[in-house]
Amino acid sequence: MSTSIHVSAGQVAATLALVALAAAVSFWRKADLERDIGIATIRSFVQLTAIGYVIKLIFEADTLWLVFALLTVMVLFGALTARGRAKKVPGAFWPLLIALAAAGTTTLGLVVALGVFEATPRYLVPVGGMVIGNAMTASAVALNRLGDEMADSRNRIEATLALGATGQEAALPIVRRALRSGMITLVDSTKTTGLIFFPGTMVGMLLAGANPTDAVRLQLILLYTLLGSVAIAGLVATTLAYRNFFTPAQQLRE
Amino acid sequence: MLFELRDVSLDRGGRRVLDSISVAIPSGPTAIVGPSGAGKSTLLRLLNRLADPDVGTVSYRGRALAACDPLALRCEVSLVPQLPALLEGTVGSNVAYAAQLAGKELDIERCLRLAGLPADFAERDVSQLSVGEQQRAMLARALAQQPEVLLLDEPTSALDHAARDAVEATLAELRRELEISVVLVSHDLEQARRLGEWVVRMKEGGVTEAGPLSEVLA
């Protein structure tokens, strides 16, 4: 599967024409996104360039400790970022941190144990990044939904608690819907992959000149891995986070 | 005494909602009356531990509530909230769920009859009920737990006069048939006269008066 492709800075610069087009559309239609598009373009350039050098360093050092350190930082920033989407969930940081760590370690551990990938930086860094990124999105969406629904359903939850139900029983339908909303995007995109869109890894490999069969197989491995990771992240995040809405005496926190 | 509150205070959102309340509530029908914001609903929620006081003690039949298992207590002291909040599904599934939580044998038809609803309501989807019907379904659900005390928070506030009279008649009938204690929160003094034998008057988080109906609302 080893391929290589050289991309010049000029080629990257040329695609800025499309960024300019996006800004022009926003300006013309008064979508008020020009500033955000500018920030997104600069941030993506700086962040990806920086991570490119970090990955190069890790590949050259060829040590798993650096991989572990990088993934730990990703989990930490992922949890902090996702917390911003889960403002209505009290104490959301720890459930998110544990969810991302659990998704990362379980998924990467399994694919290595099953012999899908070797335990080397070349595989663990990019796959780990995708796993943690998707887990972050899924758990952020799940907790966002959890927070909204818990706020909207306070009367119903308290009425159920008043019957002698535990917080877990009272919140169960909401936790279920929150988990579903966290997973549904990836499930739907997995359903339509190849029909409506080509996923990034496959496109990257094809552009790099890889055999299409290899590109498809690697993409399938990643899709299935990501399904597992978003399920674990969503499950852990919602299971830990819903508890923060209740006191030990099974009362709704004010 | 059924309930006894001693020096109970409670703050919510930086505001004192209950302020050094000491009051006793005997068995039988009690009405807690007072204007909006007096703390009536908050006091009611203390009685089955949907909330705990910041300061002071609440006891039920001589036992400190703080030492009671809240889940078992809520099956014995059932609260019907002011706003109908049934679970998705049918009236029957709601009633069955309540009975299951309390570990009681299910008799849906009896619960519906006691709440003033015909038997065929068991199959009705809760989303198709009027507010009055939902309020009665909430009552039927609470009755499925065969509670010893019913806590009712403004049970007729969302109803028109005809529906209110029907629910009041149901409550009076319920008292006669089951002989359970009822603690009713109401802002309507006339309703308190019709349904209460003991009255607790509240104002601005405090109890201003408590005693037999004939003395408090003379």
Asked, for residue A252, whether it belongs to a domain, the answer is no
Which residues in chain A have their CB less than 8 angstroms from residue B88's CB? Answer: 173
Strand partners, B80: B152
- The whole domain housing A10 covers 1-61
On whether both A35 and A116 belong to a single domain, the answer is no
Q: How many domains does chain B have?
A: 1
What's the mean per-residue pLDDT of chain A? 93
The verdict on a CB contact (< 8 Å) between B88 and A155 is no
Which of B12, B102, B138 is nearest residue A164 as measured by Cβ atoms?
B102
Report the SS3 class of residue B187.
coil
Measuring CA to CA, which residue among A229, A224, A235 is closest to residue A142?
A235
Report the SS3 class of residue B84.
coil
**What local confidence, expressed as pLDDT, does residue A4 receive?**
64
**Burial level of A117, CB count in 10 A (0-12/13-18/19+)?**
middle
pLDDT digits (tens, 9 = 90+) for A206-233: 888 889 999 899 889 999 999 999 999 9
| Non-local CB neighbours of A186 within 8 Å, separated by 6+ positions | A134, A138, A226, A227, A230
On whether both A152 and A56 belong to a single domain, the answer is no
**What local confidence, expressed as pLDDT, does residue A36 receive?**
94
On whether both A18 and A72 belong to a single domain, the answer is no
A172 — contact with chain B (CB < 8 Å)? no
Asked, for residue A13, whether it belongs to a domain, the answer is yes
For chain B, list residues whose CB is within 8 angstroms of any CB belonging to chain A.
12-13, 48-52, 70-75, 78-81, 83, 85-88, 97-98, 101-102, 138, 141-142, 145
Q: How many domains does chain A have?
A: 2
Distance from CA of B94 to the nearest CA of A (A): 10
* CATH number of the domain residue B195 falls in: 3.40.50.300
Residue type, B163: A
Residue B213: φ, ψ to 5°: -50, -45
The pLDDT of residue A134 is above 80: yes
Take residue B46 and report the two structure tokens written for it: 């203390």
Boundary residue ending a domain (A34, A61, A88):
A61
CA separation for the pair B216, B196 (Å, rounded): 11
On whether both A148 and A189 belong to a single domain, the answer is yes
How many C-alpha atoms does B161 have within 13 Å on its Cβ side?
Answer: 1
Report the SS3 class of residue A4.
coil
Boundary residue ending a domain (A9, A42, A61):
A61
Q: What residue ranges of chain B have pLDDT lower than 70? A: none
Asked, for residue A153, whether it belongs to a domain, the answer is yes
On whether both A55 and A103 belong to a single domain, the answer is no
Percentage, residues of chain A above pLDDT 90: 82
CA separation for the pair A172, A157 (Å, rounded): 10
The verdict on a CB contact (< 8 Å) between A251 and B72 is no
Query: Crossing angle, helix A121-152 and helix A34-61, to 10 degrees?
Result: 140
Asked, for residue A251, whether it belongs to a domain, the answer is no
- The whole domain housing B123 covers 3-216
On whether both A43 and A81 belong to a single domain, the answer is no
| Non-local CB neighbours of A198 within 8 Å, separated by 6+ positions | A206
Which of B12, B50, B138 is nearest residue A161 as measured by Cβ atoms?
B50
The verdict on a CB contact (< 8 Å) between A249 and B52 is yes
Strand partners, B79: B151
Asked, for residue A241, whether it belongs to a domain, the answer is yes
**What local confidence, expressed as pLDDT, does residue A1 receive?**
45
Q: Which pLDDT band holds residue A58 (cuts at 50, 70, 90)?
A: very high
* CATH number of the domain residue A150 falls in: 1.20.1640
On whether both A115 and A194 belong to a single domain, the answer is yes
pLDDT digits (tens, 9 = 90+) for B160-191: 787 788 788 888 887 888 788 999 999 888 88
On whether both A106 and A218 belong to a single domain, the answer is yes
Give the DSSP letter string of A89-142: STT-HHHHHHHHHHHHHHHHHHHHHTTSS-SSHHHHHHHHHHHHHHHHHHHHHH
Which of A156, A162, A173 is nearest residue B50 as measured by Cβ atoms?
A162
| Non-local CB neighbours of A230 within 8 Å, separated by 6+ positions | A103, A134, A135, A137, A138, A182, A183, A186
Other beta carbons less than 10 A from residue A11's beta carbon: 9
A253 — contact with chain B (CB < 8 Å)? no
Instruction: Give the mean model confidence (pLDDT) for residues A89-99.
Output: 97
On whether both A193 and A81 belong to a single domain, the answer is yes
On whether both A117 and A90 belong to a single domain, the answer is yes
Asked, for residue A77, whether it belongs to a domain, the answer is yes
Boundary residue ending a domain (A9, A32, A61):
A61
